[in-house]
């Protein structure tokens, strides 16, 4: 972070704005569009302004492309494309995309084999599908309008989407015409509509990363399978003479069982028949497991982890350079002929109006001040490189009073001050930890004493009331001592608040006997989590968890997308295959047995519940797939299905195992990488302050505010003027000559990476600028004059001139 | 590596030795011991030499201590201690230590409950034990003599060993007197005798590393167990109303089953009863597994991996500095007053005689030349810092002829040359790969066709002969083309050779129907491993494996030591507890059932083999513990034992799970670290040459050799003189004025680390020397004059002077 607080003296800042205001009067554009004569304040600039608006908009688009890592060859090339671009790039459109994709995915709940409660007629769900597909066609046509036909065809992901859409369309029509569902494995491809959504960018990145990690993964997998084959042949030769050993009687069985053994799922059963015959046969299994499970599987993790680290760094580098290029493109659109060395506030303000429409006038000015580190009225390119870091800041006026009760009368102040000191004291905190610990032990002992009796008592236990009272008092003290806003601004306090609220709701539930809400009472032990504030390592771990959460969620979503594909395929092939007392011919018949017989004079229900792990509808499939992911006893499910269908079904289960293994390995590598990265970062910055995000302080003087208001008045921006006047009024009220503002945002992985790779980044930049210079020299040659990357606005304007 | 080839001209080298020889005439020791008058060459120096011998020996001891990372406070302090030190530091003594320790460990095979075949009378094994313990007493008394009483008491490991010895002694005597074994859980402590062996240094280091990684591990484990308790209480409240759910009916069951669920061992069974009642209950299990298994367990790995990396680096640093200090100590003992700026060859030679007694005279001189980079006749301290890197080199005369057949007659030469070119050609190699691949497929198909028939045919199949012939021809061609020595010097070729040899033995076995050796035939598929030469990544992986192997083996041994402790405890408490048809009251009774009943007219043996997983003797215990390590279905073993003993037995199994989890996590972290380190290293040195160890080239001129011989003649070292004269004769034969020697050793982890941390190492050195200077200044103060770290020889000599 190169952001430093560079206070400029009041006079200078004021004249800065005035100069800006003057500059606003005579627009001087790079391509020298004629500046209109002076006239009425609100109309004289309209034509020049229109030209500038184009530039602002395009610069904003460049910056967005930089941020989203969109390649510049999809940059809109003309006004029609721009209109389509703008249409396709707003949250309404994104939401439409997302809704359509979700609708298509959720249809599988209602299509046969449907979840019983949600079953819909073929007519209904096929029509719904057709409708959703038509919406997708509309989306794609907008995209084609924006990209142009040639770029559209070159864009692989979009082409795949078009193809899938085509197939889905035909199939939906066929279903509607025939009025009956056929085998529609292609439904698994519906995921692509979700993956292509703007909001699922993270999922796309994950998928790309998974595919990039595949080659080394496959190599090691081959090693793994190779050893499996060798041991399969060995095992077959060694153990097939033993006729009581069902695991190695054929080569196929031998291989399948060694595959399952790789997942440890059939160990030690697979060893037992041969072990019973000859104790030394255990050596075969120990060697196999040592090589395959303990060595090669870990090697797999190591290789993936290594590749992952490498890709992560490369990705960071390319993203950083892409952003830099975007900033350069935007910069070139915003400088004027008169001020070729920087962007004036006027133009930055214009850019921000498009880039962040909801930013208020005050924040726009603060952003300008934060960017401008040279005390000149212009933001140079070097300053502008910080754009992404600065624009994310949330600005807030720095309050002068320390506590919320500073302005109360003396007595009240003293009381609240006392509470404040009490609440902030170590003793109070440790007392509360003790209470929580005692409460935890109490709950444990209480639960232990119940032992299956009537454990949801009709009357509220007194311990519940005592502890709740203590928590309530703590809540009250903290809220009054710190002030509600400061209290809730800490994540831990907010957590305390929620837990206490839940406990209170639980009390009400108990008091009024509202049975359906009993689960709230059951959630009580969660407040024990508060104990984890105590140790630094836990705080670290929890911070890491919060930092990881978005990426974890996107990885989870990626996994769900794989689940969906496999669920669809599973449903098409295995729906209704397993049921109670099926699979009697297989070795796992016991697990599917459902008997209701009488022993003596007691009815005994022998229940092997595995028939519940089926593919009868999407929800069941998901649960079954989760069980397959956990791996334990997955072969029971596999063998059950196999015995009712064909040997080839095993392919499905084995493929699923390998796919989840890939994803899980990536998840492990990701957690490892993130954690180790953070720890290294902390070790590198041990001396620096407690990590609480990025904070920047800027002072604004009243004179600046007034000048700013004048500027907006000239431009007839009444809304902004009103906003600014409110701030001026506030300054007047407290009789302050200036006001301090704090810009704040949480630290992202990118910030950490910038600090970690500080030295390398400079090298990258140099290399990049060398490359760019070379490219520019190439571009200067006449042959490449129709370069599609040439900024749209500039070309347009030069056309206007001609 | 700072080793560079610095050729000095012949004349200079010669006078270097002559000067050295002169220097040998008048010994000038730092503390100015009187130099004896000139006399007969073989006796005149004896008294001065005796003094120097002490210095050489002590310097060698310092260097050994530096290499073995022995702390200097165990340095022998006087002549008596030195004698004990020398007695306790040679391979015979080490072997005795190891044998005694192994004997003590192996006794558990014969003590009740013994392996049936190895059962010995109490009288016999108790006497054996007493004998071994007496030997240990002897070892310890030698150690006490060497260390002195005060240091002995301060040395923790030795004190623990003494205490354990004491306990064992008493118990052994009690057994002998009572003539019956009592509960001897303390036998588990016998491991300490093995761990303390000199040869088990790696195991000690592993154990230390494991203990150092424990604190963060325990923190995360607490988090894990904490969530387990929370979910245990939740699960109990949610599922205990369901009376058909045996997993959550009490809080204890609930906790135990969630612990088992953490290992996934009882999934999905544990979910099934509640899932059958309410499909949404799967959410509980999915959330639990996601948090515990997929998140916190990975976090555990991440934390351990991070700590491991950190420790690894710190360890490397401390070892490096320790070695440096050792070199400094040795250096101070080897410089003379006349030459305070370096070590002369005479003294280095003296040192090497003690440090590496088996090094020949030629190699000593080569080591001197390799160390000496300044072309002066002295090795400066800066040069001497490379001691450990240089002394490990294996020297060999560089042969001038390219092939072994260069000196054969023309025709033979051409034939062999042709074979050489053929064998080295790409086409030949790929042809062989193809043959191996075809052979692999052949074996697979052949095996597949057999399907449990008479698959060890009486007559040799022709395919076997064909492939073996091809391999034989390949072997022959390669041996003749490359020469037998060059052929076998490549690891891969050696592997080929072994495999072909085995295949040939297999053929003989088949041909002569030697049934007990049929397993050789079965090993055939192993030759498919040759295919993995093909790809670079596999070569990398295999190289890493070979590099990792010593550490992996020591980690395996560490695991076995834990196994031993648990096996002893298990045997003491659970021997004979499980047997067929035991555990009928438990939920896992089926797995222990052994029934022999008749259904229709067929005898059906219902065999749950789990009674085989018992603690009836050490070997069985080891197999059982391995099964527990693999984790799958471990709860069946646990529940079986628990149902026959008490609830507290679970503690044993859970502790074992946690211990193996620690060790396994460390193993994973180790593999990860080693692999990632190597990959980073390779990425950093992409441009450097193919990695084939460290090679150093040195030229020796005949004049030097002659001078060297003269030097040894003066010192009456007839054996060395004969060796050197042989080399001179060889030079004369080929009429060479000089001879080239190649020093070679394999690259170690330490070499890689030195290159990786190049920059940091300089900082460490500076910091270290600053610290040392400070210390020296402290030492200069009179108060610390009786510093125990003061070198022994120096003090001795100063005593002599006084």
pLDDT of residue A102: 94
Could B223 and A613 be called an inter-chain contact, meaning their C-beta atoms sit closer than 8 Å? no
Same domain, A141 and A92: yes
Structure tokens at A580: 């109670």
Q: By the CB < 8 Å criterion, does A483 face chain B?
A: no
Q: Look at residue A35 and tell me if it is in a domain.
A: no
pLDDT of residue A256: 93
Query: Which residue, of A504, A534, A564, is where some domain finishes?
Result: A534
Q: By the CB < 8 Å criterion, does B580 face chain A?
A: no
Q: By the CB < 8 Å criterion, does A460 face chain B?
A: no
d(CA B81, CA B78): 5
Which among A461, A434, A435 is positioned nearest to A447, based on CA atoms? Answer: A461
Contact B591/B606 with Cβ under 8 angstroms? Answer: no
pLDDT of residue B3: 36
Query: Which of B237, B522, B538 is closest, CB to CB, to A237?
Result: B522
pLDDT of residue A392: 83
Question: Three-state DSSP class for B5?
Answer: coil
Could A672 and B267 be called an inter-chain contact, meaning their C-beta atoms sit closer than 8 Å? no
Higher pLDDT, B514 or B161: B161
Mean pLDDT within A32-50: 46
d(CA B794, CA B29): 10
Same domain, B386 and B419: no
What phi-psi label fits residue A452: left (phi over 0), alpha (psi between -120 and 50 degrees) or beta?
Answer: left
Question: Three-state DSSP class for A393?
Answer: coil
d(CA B645, CA B643): 6
d(CA B703, CA B14): 6
Q: Look at residue B156 and tell me if it is in a domain.
A: yes
Q: Average per-residue pLDDT in chain B? A: 80
Residues A574-608: b if buried by 16+ CB within 10 A, e if exposed:
bbebbeeebbeebebbebbbeeeeeeeeeeeeebb
Select the highest-mean-pLDDT range: A26-35, A305-314, B91-100, B684-693.
Answer: B91-100
pLDDT of residue A517: 64
Contact B336/B378 with Cβ under 8 angstroms? Answer: no
pLDDT of residue A18: 40
Q: Which residues contact B574 (CB under 8 A, 6 or more apart)?
A: B614, B615, B641, B645, B649, B652
pLDDT digits (tens, 9 = 90+) for A744-800: 887 777 777 887 787 788 888 888 888 878 877 776 654 433 444 444 444 343 333
Same domain, B559 and B661: yes
Q: By the CB < 8 Å criterion, does A607 face chain B?
A: yes
Q: Are β-strands B738-745 and B394-397 bridged in parallel, bridged antiparallel, or unpaired?
A: antiparallel
Contact A741/A398 with Cβ under 8 angstroms? Answer: yes
pLDDT digits (tens, 9 = 90+) for A315-367: 888 989 999 999 988 888 888 877 788 888 888 888 888 888 888 888 888 88
Q: Look at residue A244 and tell me if it is in a domain.
A: yes
B chain contacts of residue A269, beta-carbon cutoff 8 Å: 609, 633
d(CA A770, CA A789): 19
Q: By the CB < 8 Å criterion, does A306 face chain B?
A: yes
Query: Which residue, of A534, A568, A598, is where some domain finishes?
Result: A534
Same domain, A636 and A723: no
Q: Which residues contact B337 (CB under 8 A, 6 or more apart)?
A: B28, B29, B30, B32
pLDDT of residue B516: 63
**In CATH, what number is assigned to the domain containing residue B639?**
1.10.287.70
Tell me the residues of chain A between 125 and 144 that have a Cβ less than 8 Å away from chain B. none
Q: Starting at the edge strand that comes first in sequence, how are the strands of the sheet with B694-701 ordered?
A: B394-397, B738-745, B694-701
Query: Which of B266, B273, B525 is closest, CB to CB, to A230?
Result: B525
In order of A186, A675, B112, B418, B494, the CA distances from B479 in angstroms are 58, 53, 55, 13, 11
Q: Is residue B783 predicted with pLDDT exceeding 60?
A: no
- Is the pTM higher than 0.90? The answer reads no
ipTM confidence score: 0.85
Nearest chain A Cα distance for residue B653, angstroms: 16
pLDDT of residue B627: 92
B chain contacts of residue A444, beta-carbon cutoff 8 Å: 229, 233, 251
Q: By the CB < 8 Å criterion, does B682 face chain A?
A: no
Which among A37, A17, A15 is positioned nearest to A25, based on CA atoms? Answer: A37
Mean pLDDT within B114-137: 90
pLDDT digits (tens, 9 = 90+) for A374-410: 777 888 888 888 888 888 888 887 766 667 777 778 8
Q: Which residues contact A126 (CB under 8 A, 6 or more apart)?
A: A172, A175, A176
Q: By the CB < 8 Å criterion, does A438 face chain B?
A: no
d(CA A381, CA B595): 85
Tell me the residues of chain A between 315 and 334 that have a Cβ less than 8 Å away from chain B. none
Could B632 and A668 be called an inter-chain contact, meaning their C-beta atoms sit closer than 8 Å? no
Same domain, A607 and A715: no
pLDDT of residue A481: 84
Q: How far is CA A355 from the centre of its chain?
A: 22
Q: By the CB < 8 Å criterion, does B415 face chain A?
A: no
pLDDT of residue B629: 92
Residue that has been written with the tokens 């054929």 in this structure? A250
Q: Number of structural domains, chain A?
A: 5
Could B538 and A632 be called an inter-chain contact, meaning their C-beta atoms sit closer than 8 Å? no
For a pLDDT cut of 70, what percent of chain B falls above it? 87
Nearest chain B Cα distance for residue A309, angstroms: 10
Q: By the CB < 8 Å criterion, does A613 face chain B?
A: yes
pLDDT digits (tens, 9 = 90+) for A79-127: 888 888 888 888 899 999 999 999 999 999 998 888 888 888 888 999 9
Q: By the CB < 8 Å criterion, does A647 face chain B?
A: no
Place B49 in a pLDDT band, splitting at 50, 70 and 90. Answer: low
Mutate to test the interface with A, among B672, B674, B682 (most CBs of A within 10 A): B672
Nearest chain B Cα distance for residue A99, angstroms: 25
B chain contacts of residue A219, beta-carbon cutoff 8 Å: 535, 537-538
Residue that has been written with the tokens 């025939």 in this structure? A178
For residue B268, say if its preceding peptide bond is cis, omega within 30 degrees of 0: yes
pLDDT of residue B546: 78
Q: How many CB atoms lie within 10 A of CB B553?
A: 12
Question: CA torsion A607→A609→A610→A611, rounded to 10°?
Answer: 90
In order of A527, B230, B241, B245, B256, the CA distances from A455 in angstroms are 20, 17, 9, 17, 20
Q: Is residue A542 predicted with pLDDT exceeding 90?
A: no
Same domain, A420 and A382: no
Same domain, B188 and B219: no
Nearest chain B Cα distance for residue A633, angstroms: 7
Q: Look at residue B53 and tell me if it is in a domain.
A: no
φ/ψ of A521, rounded to 5, equals: -60, -40
Q: Look at residue A789 and tell me if it is in a domain.
A: no
Nearest chain B Cα distance for residue A533, angstroms: 12
Q: By the CB < 8 Å criterion, does B541 face chain A?
A: yes
Binning chain B into helix, strand and coil, the percentages to the nearest 5 are 70, 5, 25
Residue that has been written with the tokens 């990590």 in this structure? A691
Query: Which of B250, B607, B630 is closest, CB to CB, to A452?
Result: B250
Contact A651/B286 with Cβ under 8 angstroms? Answer: no
- List, in sequence order, the alpha helices (H) in A593-694: 618-630, 634-644, 649-684
Complete DSSP assignment for A572-588: HHHTT---TT--TTSTT
Q: Look at residue B637 and tell me if it is in a domain.
A: yes
Structure tokens at B600: 């229709």
Query: Which of A521, A541, A632 is closest, CB to CB, to B265?
Result: A632
Q: By the CB < 8 Å criterion, does A659 face chain B?
A: no
d(CA A583, CA B323): 68
Query: Which residue, of B500, B534, B568, is where some domain finishes?
Result: B534
d(CA B637, CA B684): 49
For residue B551, say if its preceding peptide bond is cis, omega within 30 degrees of 0: no
Mean pLDDT within B630-643: 90
Nearest chain B Cα distance for residue A649, angstroms: 20
Place B549 in a pLDDT band, splitting at 50, 70 and 90. Answer: confident
Query: Which of A237, A451, A605 is closest, CB to CB, to B250?
Result: A451
Mean pLDDT within B295-312: 87
d(CA B335, CA B353): 17
Residues B227-239: b if buried by 16+ CB within 10 A, e if exposed:
bbbbbbbbbbbbb
Mutate to test the interface with A, among B280, B447, B580 (most CBs of A within 10 A): B447
Q: Look at residue B539 and tell me if it is in a domain.
A: no
Q: Picking from A318-327, B13-22, B224-233, B780-789, which range would have the lowest pLDDT averaged per residue?
A: B13-22
Same domain, A392 and A355: yes
Q: Are β-strands A602-607 and B594-599 bridged in parallel, bridged antiparallel, or unpaired?
A: unpaired
Contact B148/B105 with Cβ under 8 angstroms? Answer: no
Place A283 in a pLDDT band, splitting at 50, 70 and 90. Answer: very high
Q: By the CB < 8 Å criterion, does B476 face chain A?
A: no
Number of helices (H) and strands (E) in chain B: give both, helices first: 33, 5
Q: How many CB atoms lie within 10 A of CB A97?
A: 21
Q: Look at residue A102 and tell me if it is in a domain.
A: yes
Binning chain A into helix, strand and coil, the percentages to the nearest 5 are 70, 5, 25
Q: Picking from A698-702, B722-726, B778-782, which range would have the lowest pLDDT averaged per residue?
A: B778-782
pLDDT of residue A796: 40
Select the highest-mean-pLDDT range: A564-573, A714-723, B675-684.
Answer: A564-573
Same domain, B622 and B713: no
pLDDT of residue B785: 39
Contact A720/A360 with Cβ under 8 angstroms? Answer: yes
Same domain, A351 and A283: no
Higher pLDDT, A735 or B259: B259
Tell me the residues of chain B between 209 and 248 that have a Cβ less than 8 Å away from chain A. 216, 219-220, 223, 226, 229-230, 233-234, 236-238, 240, 244
Could A672 and B226 be called an inter-chain contact, meaning their C-beta atoms sit closer than 8 Å? no
Query: Which of A447, A521, A668 is closest, CB to CB, to B236?
Result: A447
Contact B468/B504 with Cβ under 8 angstroms? Answer: yes
**In CATH, what number is assigned to the domain containing residue B530?**
1.20.120.350
d(CA B190, CA B182): 16
DSSP state letter for B121: -
Contact B615/B577 with Cβ under 8 angstroms? Answer: yes
Contact A356/A367 with Cβ under 8 angstroms? Answer: no
Same domain, A393 and A376: yes
DSSP state letter for B155: -
A chain contacts of residue B613, beta-carbon cutoff 8 Å: 268
User: Angle at the Cα of A544 (from A542 to A550), degrees rounded to 5?
Assistant: 110
d(CA A161, CA A156): 9
Task: Name residue B699's beta-bridge partners.
Answer: B740
**Domain of residue B289, residue span:** 207-293
Q: How many CB atoms lie within 10 A of CB A767?
A: 12
Q: By the CB < 8 Å criterion, does B548 face chain A?
A: no
A chain contacts of residue B578, beta-carbon cutoff 8 Å: none
Mean pLDDT within A137-157: 89
Could B250 and A631 be called an inter-chain contact, meaning their C-beta atoms sit closer than 8 Å? no
In order of A169, A313, B151, B321, B330, the CA distances from B788 in angstroms are 89, 52, 10, 20, 16
pLDDT of residue A653: 94
Q: By the CB < 8 Å criterion, does A516 face chain B?
A: no
Q: Is residue A271 predicted with pLDDT exceeding 50?
A: yes
pLDDT digits (tens, 9 = 90+) for B175-216: 889 888 888 888 999 999 999 998 898 899 889 888 988 888
Which among A349, A352, A372 is positioned nearest to A4, based on CA atoms? Answer: A372
Could B612 and A671 be called an inter-chain contact, meaning their C-beta atoms sit closer than 8 Å? no
Could A234 and B619 be called an inter-chain contact, meaning their C-beta atoms sit closer than 8 Å? no
Query: Which of B250, B444, B631 is closest, CB to CB, to A264?
Result: B631
Same domain, A681 and A548: yes
Tell me the residues of chain B between 782 and 801 that have a Cβ less than 8 Å away from chain A. none
Q: Average per-residue pLDDT in chain A? A: 81
- Give the number of beta-carbon pairs within 8 Å between A and B: 214
Contact B366/B356 with Cβ under 8 angstroms? Answer: no
Contact B14/B704 with Cβ under 8 angstroms? Answer: yes
């Amino acid at each position: 972070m190169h952001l430093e607080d560079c206070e400029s003296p009041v006079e200078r800042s004021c004249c800065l704005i005035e100069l800006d205001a003057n500059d606003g009067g005579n627009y001087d554009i790079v391509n020298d569009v004629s500046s209109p004569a002076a006239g009425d304040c609100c109309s004289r600039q309209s034509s020049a302004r229109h030209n500038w608006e184009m530039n602002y908009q395009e610069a904003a688009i460049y910056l967005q492309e930089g941020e989203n890592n969109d390649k510049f060859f999809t940059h809109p090339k003309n006004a029609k494309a721009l209109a389509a671009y703008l249409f396709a790039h707003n949250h309404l459109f994104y939401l439409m995309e997302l809704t359509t994709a979700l609708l298509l995915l959720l249809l599988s709940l209602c299509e046969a084999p449907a979840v019983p409660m949600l079953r819909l007629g073929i007519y209904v769900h096929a029509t719904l599908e057709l409708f959703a597909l038509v919406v997708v066609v509309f989306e794609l046509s907008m995209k084609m309008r924006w990209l142009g036909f040639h770029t559209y065809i070159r864009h692989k992901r979009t082409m795949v989407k078009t193809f899938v859409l085509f197939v889905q369309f035909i199939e939906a029509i066929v279903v509607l015409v025939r009025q009956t569902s056929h085998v529609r494995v292609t439904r698994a491809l519906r995921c692509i509509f979700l993956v292509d959504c703007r909001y699922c960018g993270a999922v796309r990145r994950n998928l790309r990363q998974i595919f990039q990690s595949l080659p080394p993964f496959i190599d090691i997998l081959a090693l793994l399978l190779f050893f499996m084959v060798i041991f399969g042949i060995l095992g077959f030769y060694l153990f097939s003479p033993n006729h009581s050993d069902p695991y190695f009687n054929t080569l196929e069985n031998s291989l399948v069982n060694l595959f399952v053994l790789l997942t440890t799922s059939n160990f030690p059963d697979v060893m037992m028949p041969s072990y019973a015959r000859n104790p030394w046969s255990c050596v075969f299994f120990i060697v196999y497991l040592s090589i395959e499970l303990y060595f090669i599987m870990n090697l797999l993790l190591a290789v993936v982890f290594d590749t992952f680290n490498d890709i992560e760094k490369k990705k960071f580098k390319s993203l950083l350079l892409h952003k830099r290029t975007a900033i350069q493109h935007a910069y070139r659109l915003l400088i004027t002929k008169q001020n070729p060395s920087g962007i004036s506030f006027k133009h930055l303000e214009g850019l921000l109006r498009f880039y962040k429409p909801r930013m208020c006038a005050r924040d726009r000015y603060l952003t300008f001040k934060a960017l401008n580190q040279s005390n000149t009225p212009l933001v140079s390119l070097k300053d502008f490189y910080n754009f992404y870091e600065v624009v994310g800041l949330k600005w807030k006026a720095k309050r002068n009073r320390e506590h919320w009760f500073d302005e109360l009368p003396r007595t009240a102040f003293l009381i609240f001050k006392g509470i404040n000191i009490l609440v902030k004291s170590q003793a109070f905190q440790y007392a509360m930890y003790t209470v929580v610990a005692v409460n935890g032990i109490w709950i444990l002992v209480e639960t232990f004493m119940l032992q299956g009796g009537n454990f949801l008592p009709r009357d509220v236990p007194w311990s519940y009331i005592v502890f709740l009272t203590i928590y309530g008092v703590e809540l009250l003290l903290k809220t009054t001592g710190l002030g509600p806003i400061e209290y809730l601004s800490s994540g831990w306090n907010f957590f305390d608040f929620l837990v206490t609220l839940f406990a209170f709701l639980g009390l009400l539930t108990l008091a009024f006997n509202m049975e359906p809400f009993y689960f709230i009472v059951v959630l009580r032990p969660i407040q024990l989590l508060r104990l984890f504030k105590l140790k630094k390592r836990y705080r670290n771990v929890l911070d890491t968890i919060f930092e990881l959460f978005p990426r974890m969620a996107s990885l989870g979503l990626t996994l769900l997308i794989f689940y969906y594909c496999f669920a669809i395929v599973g449903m098409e092939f295995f729906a209704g295959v397993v049921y109670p007392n099926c699979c009697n011919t297989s070795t796992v018949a016991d697990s599917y047995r459902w008997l209701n017989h009488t022993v003596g004079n007691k009815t005994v229900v022998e229940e092997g519940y595995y028939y519940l792990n089926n593919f009868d509808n999407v929800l069941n499939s998901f649960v079954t797939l989760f069980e397959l992911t956990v791996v334990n006893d997955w072969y029971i499910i596999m063998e059950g299905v196999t015995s009712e269908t064909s040997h080839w079904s095993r392919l499905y289960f084995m493929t699923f195992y390998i796919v989840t293994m890939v994803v899980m390995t990536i998840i492990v590598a990701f957690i490892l990488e993130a954690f180790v990265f953070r720890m290294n970062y902390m070790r590198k910055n041990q001396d620096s302050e407690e990590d609480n995000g990025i904070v920047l302080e800027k002072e604004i003087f009243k004179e600046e505010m007034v000048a700013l208001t004048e500027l907006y008045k000239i431009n007839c921006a009444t809304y902004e003027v009103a906003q600014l006047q409110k701030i001026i009024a506030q300054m007047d009220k407290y009789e302050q000559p200036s006001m301090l503002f704090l810009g704040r945002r949480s630290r992202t992985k990118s910030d950490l990476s910038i600090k970690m790779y500080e030295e390398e980044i400079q090298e990258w930049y140099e290399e990049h600028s060398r490359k760019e210079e070379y490219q520019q020299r190439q571009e200067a040659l006449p042959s490449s004059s129709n370069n599609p990357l040439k900024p749209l606005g500039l070309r347009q304007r030069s056309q206007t001139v001609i």
